Amino acid sequence: MAVLPMTEWHTGLFDCCADCNTCCYGFWCCPCLACTVAEKFGENRYLPLCDMCSPAIVSAVGIPLCVPPAGVSLRVGIRHRYNIKGTLCKDIATSCACVWCNWCQMQRELKHRKKNTTVVVVNMQPAPVIMAQPAVYISH
């Protein structure tokens, strides 16, 4: 099995001009963008709602939570699926530094990867079948 080389994110965290539509969408409705990213990645569309609901629920019992769980987990998942350089610590810092920019970067990455998908076709021919000839017995 071939090991793919590590790559960088297609765009930087603050590269809003790389895809203005995504960034405008994220600015006006970040929850909508987040739900779209989750669905495109193959997760439950409503997973990002954990980022909005969990701080309120957890802080109600006295535990402060500042790390968005869905944002971090999707970022780590995208990084691992596409072999993008990074660490969990960087993913947490990025997810906390700018929630909107994090979701926009992930959306741009998924768009880029979908657009540049490589399909490898392997032509597997069946093994040749050799039919054994029935034995013929001649009696004298």
Q: Quick check: is 86 in a domain?
A: yes
Q: What is the mean pLDDT of the chain?
A: 80
**pLDDT score at 109:** 94
Q: Report yes or no: 110 and 126 within 8 Å, Cβ to Cβ.
A: no
* Total of domains in the chain: 1
Instruction: Tell me the C-alpha distance between 4 and 2, whole Å.
Output: 6
Instruction: State the pLDDT confidence band at 100, using cuts at 50, 70 and 90.
Output: confident
State the average pLDDT over residues 98-104. Answer: 86
Tell whether 24 is covered by a domain.
Answer: yes
Is 8 contained in some domain? Answer: no
Residue at 104 is within a domain? yes
Residue 92 lies in a domain: yes
Domain boundaries, position 51: 16-113
pLDDT band (50, 70, 90) for residue 51 = confident
> What is the pTM for the complete model shown?
0.70
pLDDT of 4 above 60: yes
Instruction: Tell me, yes or no, whether 122 lies in a domain.
Output: no
pLDDT for 22: 74
Which range (15-24, 61-70, 100-109, 131-140) has the least confidence?
A: 131-140
Q: What is the pLDDT of residue 57?
A: 63
On whether residue 134 sits in a domain, the answer given is no
Q: pLDDT (tens digit, 9 = 90+) per residue, 7-44?
A: 999 999 888 788 787 777 666 777 888 888 999 999 98
Q: Tokens at residue 32, please?
A: 């909508």
pLDDT for residue 69 is more than 70: yes
Is residue 137 included in any domain, yes or no?
no
Cβ proximity of 35 and 106 under 8 Å: no
SS3 137: coil
Percent of the chain's residues with pLDDT above 70: 71
Closest by CA to 75, choosing from 88, 60, 57, 59, is 88
